[in-house]
Every structure is written in C-alpha cells, then in structure tokens.
Structure 1
Amino acid sequence: MTRTTTVQASAATGPSPGGRSLAHLPVTLFSSVMGLGGVSLAWRRAARVYDLPAWPAQGFLSLATLAFLVVGAAYGAKWVRFPDAARAELCHPVRMAFAPTVTIALLVLATAGQSVAPGVASVLWWVGAIGHLVATVAVVSAWFGRADIVHGTVTPAWFIPVVGNVITPLAAREIGSVELARFAFGVGVAFWVALLPLVLQRVLLHDSALPEKLLPTMAIFVAPPSVAMLSWGVLTGAVDDPVGVLLFSAAMSFVAILLAQVGRLRRIPFAVPYWAYTFPLAAASAAAVAMAGARPQVAYDVVAVALLGATSLLVLVVTGLTLRAAARGRICLPE
C-alpha cells in the first residue's frame, strides 16, 4: 500500500491506533502556543503596571513552551510519516491560513521569553519574523493565483498569515531589529485595513455563513487592533496617543461584539478551533493593561483586570478540554 493510499484510508475511517492518526493532526494546534504565550505576555505587562509577582507570567510561559515542544514534535512526525497529508493541509483553501500560526508561535515565545533566555529568544524572533513575512508572500500568492479561493473560503483566519506581522515589533528593540519590525508592522496594518471589509462581509452576510465549527474564529477580529496598539507603543513610545487610543477603541469594540455572541458560541461543541478565542483575548488583555498603565483611571483598571482574569481562566479551561479530547482520541480526526 502506498503512503497516499494509507492517508486516504485513514481519512475515510477516522483515527486509528498508533501513528496513523498523525495524518489528521491539525496545524491549528500551534494556536495553543499563541494562547498560552499571549496570556504570559499579558501577565508580564500586568506585573509591571500593578507591581504583581512574576510567577503567573512564568507559569504560562512554561506551559506555552511545553505546548510548542509537544505540538512541534508531533507535527514534525506528521511531516516525516505523512508528508502528503501535511502538504495537503498547507494547500487547503481554508486551512492554509492557519499554517502561519507556527511562525506566530515563535514570535510569541520569543517575546514572552526574552528576559528568561535572551539568546534563544533572539533566534526564535528572527526565525519567526522572517518566516512570517515569507508565509505572507506564499499565502497571498495562493490567494491571487488559485481559482478555488472564492468568497466561501474567506474566514477571520485570513488575518493570521498577513496581519500577524504586527506581532513582530513587540520584542524588536530588545532581541531583534527595529527596522525589520517597522516594515512588518506596515505590512500587517496595510493588510488589516484591506482585509477587514472583506472578512466582515463574509461574517455579516448570511448567504454564505461560516460553518459552526469555525464560529470561534470570530474572536480573531479582536487580535489585529490589540496587537497593533501594543506594537505602536513599542515603535513610538506611547500607547495613549490618538493612534493608540483609536486602536484600543477598535479592539474593545470587537471584544464587546464577541461577548454579545456568547449565547450562540457556548453551544458549539468543543473542538480545536476553541483556541481561536485565546490569543485574541490575551492580546486584548495586554492592551487593556497597557492603557490602564498609561491612563490610571478606575474604568481602565476594571476593564484590564476583568479581561485578564477571564482570559486566564478561559485559557486554562480550553487547555483542560484539549487534554481531555486528546486522551479520548478526538484531536486527530479527519475533517
């Protein structure tokens, strides 16, 4: 039996004992690294603003690192044992947008771990920053050139491969290059402005509604303005200038819209896309804490503390649900 036949058989019958289930290991699992690392970043900032202990940030960083090692090893094994399945995932018109979660995970780990292991963090930053720009070109080229990329394949995940570049500046001054960070920031913001109307149209017009399983990706709307505000602060030295306030307002408006959908979203059975909630809300938490630090008013503190607490709990719950699903063999499932 050829390897291709093996992959097709596995897809038809579902996960099977042993390594064959790796054929269905989703690249979206790298979003767990983003979520855990994002909460670490939020707690790291909260420690500076509110003079809190460092252990919550360090704890979430440890979990993020462990998640990266486990998911990275499993995904590497998938490429070794089932390269056809891995390539098919990267070429899929919808799933290809999730592939750059790998480079974003590197950037998040680099930013969160810069004070713990600056040498390693610098290597991760360079690989992640350059790798994400390469991923941007690859994915956008596919969007331009493929006839199977149609209105129905547009999802909020389209922000990941292109707008993800706004994460690059977060640690650029300490372990990277500010010039490269400025370039990446420009790329990310330009594509956010360009894609936002297109993605909103897909979500708001119900003639081509998102599949139920992908509804958690609506949370991704929160991430671009949240991270852009934080990166703007790194590049300019201020998060509460007119641009920073505009980005913060946009981020909080998308948080409010997401919260208004909780009644519908909570009825969706757990699946890996639940991780789509985590990094955007972690980024919003970090943005709220940063604004509270720049503008010490009670309203900002309330928003920051509420978001940070709720997001931390959410990430721990999703982590637990993921571990339970993995123990029951419900992660490596064919779509």
Structure 2
Amino acid sequence: MNATTAATTPAGAPAATHGRLAHMPISMFSIVMGLAGTTIALEKAELLWAWSVSPSAVMLALTALVFVAISLAYLAKFVLHRQHVIAEFNHPIRLSFFPTISIGMLLLAIASMSHHPGVSLYLWAVGSAVQLLFTLAILSNWMHHEKFQVQHSNPAWFIPIVGNILVPIAGVPLGYPEVSWFYFSIGLMMWTPLLAVLFNRFFFHPMIPSKLLPTLFILIAPPAVGFISWVKLHNGVVDDTARIFYYFALFITLLLIVQAKYFIKVSFALPWWAYTFPVAALTIATSVMLEKVGGSFFAMLFPLLLSVLVVLVSVVCVRTVIAMMRGEICVPE
C-alpha cells in the first residue's frame, strides 16, 4: 500500500481528511463562477426594478468567502500534495479548469465594482494577469503534446477562452479600454476555431461521457459573455454585431433545452455547476437587452431566466453540501 492509498483509507479522520484534500478537484472553483454570475444577475435586477433590498450584496459576501475557502484549500493541496496538482495540470480534461481561478477573480471584480471599486481594480488586475498566464500555458500545452485525442475535446475547453472575453466587462469601466480589446481579441479569435473543433467531435465521434454532459451548457457562455463585453467596448450601444452574439447564445440555449431528456438522466456530481454560470451569463445578457432595447419579449424573458437561475443555483448548492457531508466529493475517480 503506497502513501496515497493509505491516505484515502478510512482508518481515521486525519487520514480521510488528507485523502480528500489530495483529491480536491480544480473544478471546485467553478462553484465561484456560478455564485458570482448569480450575484451579478441579482444586481442587474436590483438596478432595473429599483429593489429596496440588496440580495446581491449578501451573495457577493458569500461568493467571496467561498472563493477564499476554496483557494486556501487548494493552496494547501499544492503544498501538501503537489504531485496531485501537477497530475491535474497534465490531465487532458482537468487542465482546462485551471482558469476558473482567474475567472473567479474577474467575476468578483465585476460583482464588486459598485460596492468596492478599489478592491474591484485589484481583483481585475490580478485576475487578468493570471488569466493571460493560464491562456499562454494551456495553449502551449495543446500545441506541444502527445496525449490529446479527439475524445478529450469537450466544452470545458472554452473555459480558458471565456476568461479573456470577460476582461472588458470590468476593464472598460475601470479605464483600460485597450487592455480590454487585447483580451477580447484573444477570446474571440480562439472561440471560433474551438467551436468548429467541438462540433466536429459532436457530429462525427461518440458523445461525451454522461458525467460531462452538463458541460454542454458552457457553449452558451462565450457568445453571451461576448455580447456583454462587446456592448461595454462600444459605450453601451447594442449594434448588429452585439445582436449576433446575443441571439446565437439564445439559439444554443434552445438547442440544449430540446435535449433536456439527456440532462435529466445525469446523476449529481460537481460538473452540475457547469449549468450555473452559462445560465447566469445569458440572464445578464438579457438584462442588457431589456435595458438597451426594451420590449415585452425581454421584459418577460429576463425574470424567467433569473427565476430559473436562482432555483438552479439553490438546488446545486444544496446537492453539493449534501454530497460533501456524505463524503462523495474530493474522492478518487
């Protein structure tokens, strides 16, 4: 029995604790993405409907606490079980989840802009720098490899790209338009070929494993986030290009809805969090359409999406807590 095996045996609490820490997945940071996206969506609702209460402030505090807790836990994993972190970074699927760290920081920067502008600037600057480092490292890894196969491609490959498209949402209001254009260009030009790669996989190769089916919702994120960033980069104007981004995100959502029978069969696991941020991104994008374009369609769609988002995040949060209490998370796969 080697040290890793011994650490995962239920011989005592300390051993079990170390075992769970060693097997803590990098995808835990996707929880922050879902919570932060919900925070921003709630803030949009507060502004549009002039709420007298501020649930977004509570959500922001909760999201920040979750981010700090997960960050400290993963830092402990890096210190105590570095070989597991290295193995994750060399894994053909888990590699794409590392930018969830920087994306979490960028989303917190966006969510905290109206409450704590100084903190927002710091989070944006650090998050953008880390995002660039992850993008360079992951793309270099993709270009020089001997392990990636068609079956490894999945929507999580968009995660390193979405982080770049997010940068302008806080970058433009903070006064860094050229930096924002730099990141947006990276995200936009990399999203298009990756989309073609994934549809090639969907059309001509076996479907992704059922556990990863929730990651199909990540397909919504690039065009939805791209729409929001494009509007920011064009001084709040919803032009023809912005509409292309938004309506493509809406089409992808409809495409996934008609496949609901496949998602219903998926047992709960951490990939369920892949549902949350994309739905939040579309909800926020719809709030922008309601604010800038108006009309009864967006007036009905925004509250519908917001309600779905709140229920979805609540359910996934509860299921995650239950799974953690049962010891079903942070275990070997």
TM-score by length of 2: 0.95
Aligned to 1:130: 129
**Counterparts of 1:85 and 1:40 in 2: how far apart (Å)?**
32
Aligned to 1:64: 63
Letter of the 1:158 counterpart: W
DSSP-derived class of the 2:246 partner: helix
Aligned to 1:36: 35
**Counterparts of 1:209 and 1:239 in 2: how far apart (Å)?**
39
User: Is the Cα–Cα contact under 8 Å of residues 30 and 273 in structure 2 kept in the other structure?
Assistant: yes
How far off is 1:134 after superposition? 1.1
Aligned to 2:231: 233
Aligned to 2:261: 263
User: Is the Cα–Cα contact under 8 Å of residues 30 and 71 in structure 1 kept in the other structure?
Assistant: yes
**Counterparts of 1:203 and 1:29 in 2: how far apart (Å)?**
26
Equivalent residue runs for 1:91-170 within 5 Å: 91-170=90-169
**Counterparts of 1:138 and 1:148 in 2: how far apart (Å)?**
16
Aligned to 1:307: 305
User: Is the Cα–Cα contact under 8 Å of residues 238 and 244 in structure 1 kept in the other structure?
Assistant: no
Per-residue Cα deviation, 1:238-269 (whole angstroms, up to 9, x for no partner): 35210111111001011111212222102111
User: Is the Cα–Cα contact under 8 Å of residues 239 and 290 in structure 1 kept in the other structure?
Assistant: no
Aligned to 2:4: 7
Letter of the 1:193 counterpart: T
Distance 1:83 1:115, change over 3 A: same
Letter of the 1:149 counterpart: F
Per-residue Cα deviation, 1:182-203 (whole angstroms, up to 9, x for no partner): 1000000001111111112222
Distance 1:10 1:148, change over 3 A: farther
Structure 1 segments unaligned to the other structure (5+ residues): none
DSSP-derived class of the 2:332 partner: coil
Distance 1:239 1:50, change over 3 A: farther
User: Is the Cα–Cα contact under 8 Å of residues 163 and 191 in structure 1 kept in the other structure?
Assistant: no
Percent of aligned pairs with the same amino acid: 35
Equivalent residue runs for 1:183-194 within 5 Å: 183-194=182-193
Aligned to 1:328: 326
**Counterparts of 1:173 and 1:156 in 2: how far apart (Å)?**
28
Tell me: higher relative CO, structure 1 or 2? Use CA pairs within 8 A at least 6 residues apart: 1
* Paired positions, count: 331
How far off is 1:154 after superposition? 0.5
How far off is 1:142 after superposition? 0.5
Equivalent residue runs for 1:238-257 within 5 Å: 238-257=236-255
How far off is 1:6 after superposition? 2.1
User: Is the Cα–Cα contact under 8 Å of residues 37 and 108 in structure 1 kept in the other structure?
Assistant: yes
**Counterparts of 1:226 and 1:266 in 2: how far apart (Å)?**
24
Per-residue Cα deviation, 1:119-148 (whole angstroms, up to 9, x for no partner): 222111111111111111100111110011
Per-residue Cα deviation, 1:208-236 (whole angstroms, up to 9, x for no partner): 32011110000000000000100111110
How far off is 1:84 after superposition? 0.4
User: Is the Cα–Cα contact under 8 Å of residues 155 and 217 in structure 1 kept in the other structure?
Assistant: yes
Letter of the 1:199 counterpart: L
Aligned to 2:198: 199
How far off is 1:163 after superposition? 3.2
**Counterparts of 1:321 and 1:147 in 2: how far apart (Å)?**
37
How far off is 1:18 after superposition? 2.1
How far off is 1:181 after superposition? 0.9
**Counterparts of 2:322 and 2:316 in 1: how far apart (Å)?**
10
Quote the RMSD (CA, aligned, Å): 1.9
**Counterparts of 2:331 and 2:202 in 1: how far apart (Å)?**
26
Structure 2 segments unaligned to the other structure (5+ residues): none
How far off is 1:309 after superposition? 0.9
Moved over 3 A (4+): 8-16
**Counterparts of 2:224 and 2:146 in 1: how far apart (Å)?**
33
Aligned to 2:78: 79
Letter of the 1:6 counterpart: A
